[in-house]
Amino acid sequence: MIGELIMYHTLAVPVFFLTAGIALAFFGSRIIPFVLVLCALILGFLHGGSVLLLFTDKVEILRYGPVVLAVLFAVAVSFLYRVAFFLAGLFIGYFASSALFPELSVIIVGIITLVSGALVYVSRNFVFSVLTSVMGAGLAATGSVNLIAWMNVSAGITAYWAIVVFVFICGIVYQTKRNKGRK
């Protein structure tokens, strides 16, 4: 797909990278849950018919089944998105408390595990803010350096990393201020 975009116009990919990078860096924690649900809807709708065809050949089921599967996938992804953060916190808390304090009782390790799971769940927006700012900064820098190169100006690795750091800092500051008080 990217090769086809380059053949269409040489600026398409760098502009796309720059635009997608800025969007991720500044709005990533807000758009990621929406994108996950949208992808689940698309997956269920596009491939639901093929999956259902393995089990039945009834026209009514094949007509409405993909829509039902799409909604079920979207609900499941939305639920699993939240559960995954809590489980990640549980694992981190358990292994950290077990490794750092091997003599602790099972009850205290369990409490630390639950508290760390809750903390990771509550701070998931900050985690997404950091991760999407990093990813967005990389995309924006790649697009920017390629646009600069398209204008026949040399931009080395220093310019790339300067753009990454600048976009990352601006993105994380913006998202952190925007997410203040939001869970």
Give the model confidence (pLDDT) of 83-126 as tens digits: 888 888 888 888 888 877 888 888 998 898 999 888 888 888 88
Candidates 141, 149, 146; CA nearest to 168 is 141
- Distance CA(117)–CA(112), nearest Å, equals 8
> Which whole number is the average pLDDT over 40-52?
84
| pLDDT > 90? residue 48 | no
Averaged pLDDT score across all residues of the chain: 84
pLDDT number for residue 92:
84
Please calculate the CA angle 10-12-9 and round it to the nearest 5 degrees. Answer: 40
Domain ranges of the chain: 2-178
pLDDT number for residue 82:
83
- Burial of 52-61, coded b for 16+ CB within 10 Å and e otherwise, reads beeeeeeeee
> Which whole number is the average pLDDT over 144-166?
88
Three-state SS for 107-176 is: HHHHHHHHHHHHHHHHCHHHHHHHHHHHHHHHHHHHHHHHHHHHCCCCCCHHHHHHHHHHHHHHHHHHHH
139 and 24 Cβ atoms separated by less than 8 Å = yes
| pLDDT > 90? residue 57 | no
Model's pTM, two decimal places?
0.63
Candidates 30, 21, 1; CA nearest to 147 is 21
Q: What is the pLDDT of residues 7-27, one digit of tens each?
A: 556 777 888 889 988 998 899
- Distance CA(91)–CA(43), nearest Å, equals 29
Please calculate the CA angle 141-164-28 and round it to the nearest 5 degrees. Answer: 85
pLDDT number for residue 162:
94
pLDDT number for residue 2:
47
| pLDDT > 70? residue 6 | no
Q: What is the pLDDT of residues 156-181, one digit of tens each?
A: 889 899 999 999 999 999 988 887 75
| pLDDT > 60? residue 30 | yes
* Percent share of the chain, pLDDT over 70: 93
Candidates 66, 182, 63; CA nearest to 125 is 182
> Which whole number is the average pLDDT over 63-68?
85
